[in-house]
Amino acid sequence: MTAPFEPVRWAVAGWGAGGRVFHAPMIAAADGLDLVAVVSTNPDRARDARSAGLEALPDLESLRDAGVEGVTLTTPAGTHADLAVEALGLGLHVVVDKPFATTAEDARRIVAAASPGTVLTVYQNRRWDGDFLTIQELVESGELGRVDRLESRIERFRPELPRWTRDRDSVHGGGVLVDLGPHLIDQAVHLLGPVQQVFADLAVLGDDRRSEDDAVVMLRHASGSRSTIVASVHAAAEGPRFRVSGTRGGLRIEGFDPQEADLFAGATPTSLGERWGSDDPARAAHWEGDGPARRPLARGRWDTFYPSVAAAVRTGTPPPVPPADAVHVAEIFDAARRSAEEGRWIDVATAISN
């Protein structure tokens, strides 16, 4: 169905895998957005963008002259804050790829730069993973009862990844806490509410790496629920993607939502249509409690994010992820780093005040 308003002219800043594989197909498939330009200073990537029918521009300021109204920032994590502030200062609507920022100070700086009427949001697309949507449905229906504990993991074994140097870390953000961690932390907060206390173990397990490649972060939510997230690129034996314990039942989900793999394979919401986000029927939630022992997984819906952005720009509806949520995730980053350094639980409010 075509959006009932003029499409928003959109651009992507950065044309690596993030911009080219993850964002461009989702923007191109979104009703209400028209992907017209790429910002890149890399000649090869600029050439690739032009071959895809997009205008290649050298900087954010050039977007205004091209009539672009909004931009998605897919550059390295450590550049997000400065580029977001610049883009907002140019009057552009902004989607920031995760992480929104690597520190709470930078996250608040981005939010302060947004003018009234400007759309600002973060691409926390895993709120629309089919497995997470399934858990969310069970929580909202009350079938799980009160959630006592959520365990959530993204574990991979990537010994071939480039060795990180101190210079790279300081410029680009570095480490799985801000790479894989934003997905897991955002899901936990979205499901269970704000976090009061954090305990973290951030480890460097790979040879010659300077940033953590393995992170275990425990969260105590204001609701009374607890969650444990595990993010690793040095885990040869992966644990379950989710394990949830509630007062009326529990579940375990193995494997991974298919939308990422589909994009890497060249499939898109446009090419798959209604099949987009559909999981393998053999993959299910293994239920412990009354009722069926296997629960089918909901359809993943990453394809709803960008149409919501377009509607926010044209009709003033709320953005798909409020900026305040992104600030809270960054506050948890700060508390986790301090916890790892001091070896104790950290109150998020205390980390904020310091």
**All structural domains of the chain with their residue ranges:** 8-123+306-320, 126-300
Per-residue tokens: 212: 């953590």
What type of residue is 189?
V
CATH 3.40.640.10 fits domain 8-123+306-320:
no
- What pLDDT was estimated at residue 3? 83
Instruction: Compute the Cα dihedral for 263, 268, 272, 274 and give only its sign.
Output: positive
Distance, CA of 201 to CA of 203 (rounded, Å): 6
Q: pTM score, two decimals?
A: 0.94
Tokens 């039942």 sit at which residue?
249
Classify domain 126-300 by CATH architecture. 2-Layer Sandwich (3.30)
Give 50-57 contacts, CB < 8 A, sequence gap 24+. Answer: 52/24, 57/11
Q: Supply the pLDDT for residue 94.
A: 98
Label residue 292 exposed, middle or buried (CB < 10 Å: 0-12, 13-18, 19+): exposed
The rounded distance, in Å, linking the Cα atoms of 93 and 283 is 38
Render 109-174 in DSSP notation, one character per residue: HHHHHPPTT--EEEE-GGGG-HHHHHHHHHHHHTTT-SEEEEEEEEE-B-TTSPPP-HHHHHHH--
Helix (H/G/I), strand (E/B), else coil: 205: coil
Q: Which residues of the chain have pLDDT under 70?
A: 1, 161-173, 353-354
| Phi, then psi, of 160 in degrees rounded to 5 | -85, -5
Asked if 220 and 226 touch (Cβ cutoff 8 Å), the reply is: yes
pLDDT tens digit sequence for 31-77: 999 999 999 999 999 999 999 999 999 999 999 999 999 999 999 99
Spatial distance between the Cα atoms of 244 and 276, rounded to a whole number of angstroms: 26
pLDDT of residue 164: 45
**Strand partners of residue 39:** 13, 57
**Which residues are CB-contacts of 283 (< 8 A; sequence separation ≥ 6)?**
253, 254, 255, 297
Instruction: Give pLDDT tens digits for 244-302.
Output: 999 999 999 999 999 999 999 999 999 999 999 999 999 999 998 877 789 999 999 99
What is the pLDDT, as a whole number, of residue 169?
A: 41
Measure the CA–CA gap between 143 and 137, rounded to whole angstroms.
9
Q: List phi, psi (to 5°) of 220.
A: -110, 115
Cβ-count burial 242-281 (b if 16+ within 10 Å, e if not):
bbbbbeebbbbbeebbbbbebbeeebbbeeeeeebbbbee
CA atoms within 13 A on the CB side of 155: 19
pLDDT at 354: 62
Contact present, 153 and 128 (Cβ < 8 Å) = no
CA-atom Rg of the chain in angstroms? 20
Cα 87–chain centre separation: 20
DSSP state of 23: I
pLDDT of residue 170: 41
How many CB atoms neighbour CB 57 within 10 A?
A: 22
